[in-house]
Amino acid sequence: MKKLIITQSNYIPWKGYFDGIHLVDELILYDDMQYTKRDWRNRNQIKTREGLAWLSIPVEVKGKFFQKISETKISDASWAQKHWQTLWHNYRKAPFFDLYAPDLQTLYNRPFTHLSEVNRAFIEQINSFLQIRTPIRWSSEFHLEEERNARLISICQQSGATDYFSGPAAKSYMTVEAFKAAGLQVHWLNYSGYPEYPQGVGPFEHAVTILDLLFNTGHDAPNYMKSFHHPESLYVSETLS
């Protein structure tokens, strides 16, 4: 049995993204997909005293033409220090900010040129913080079929996967019967039922970067995630019949 997730890279993703990574045996970053504006590829949210705020990486977008996530270049190198200063300003008094600050600041000092490089580096660093050891590969390492369902099925087959895990949004385009016909068990991630954690001022917000959870709870962060203690509550499986 081998469990697999295929998903686009996101910038400093929320806790549900990392629960999915921890749940499986391998993560495929699907950055051969088209870059989409106003999405999670190049931005995420933090909590501030004034409410939610976006941290967005400025990128070059080539009009209406097809552009892969992996081809997307950063357009302004000053983004990194701006993001770091914003994090420092809003979280420096959080109980565990100092625990993670040195490693994160080192990342923000790296001379990244492409969005995918940024996303993977931060995902790997946050995995290290959480002691998640799931291997990561690029979708470009595989032969890619043209049709969307066939492409996902083929990646699963090439990687030796038996079980495919996906976010609930994929129900709108995935043909589950095709996965079943290929001998793949499909599981839908379920992001409900997360416990709240000490988050500082304002109403509680679940859908913020996982850095918020780390800065506020430190090594207790896994206690507020589902994959570490109740992985069975994190997904719903399709019947094979």
195: number of Cβ within 10 Å: 9
Asked whether residue 38 carries a pLDDT value surpassing 70, the answer given is yes
In the chain, where the domains are located: 3-237
Please report the pLDDT score of residue 64 as a whole number.
Answer: 63
65 — pLDDT class (breaks 50, 70, 90): low
The predicted structure's pLDDT at residue 241: 60
Of 31-40, 109-118, 126-135, the least confident: 31-40
pLDDT mean across residues, the chain: 95
pLDDT at residue number 62: 81
- pLDDT at residue 133, as a whole number: 98
Give the model confidence (pLDDT) of 76-94 as tens digits: 999 999 999 999 999 999 9
* pLDDT value at residue 173: 87
- Residue 7 pLDDT > 90, yes or no? yes
Tell me the percentage of the chain whose pLDDT exceeds 70: 98
In this structure, what token pair is assigned to residue 46?
């933090």
Residue 206's pLDDT is 96
Confidence of residue 63 (pLDDT cuts 50, 70, 90): confident
User: pTM for the whole thing?
Assistant: 0.96
Distance, CA of 124 to CA of 133 (rounded, Å): 9
- pLDDT tens for 185-241 read 999 999 999 999 999 888 999 999 999 999 999 999 999 999 999 999 999 999 766
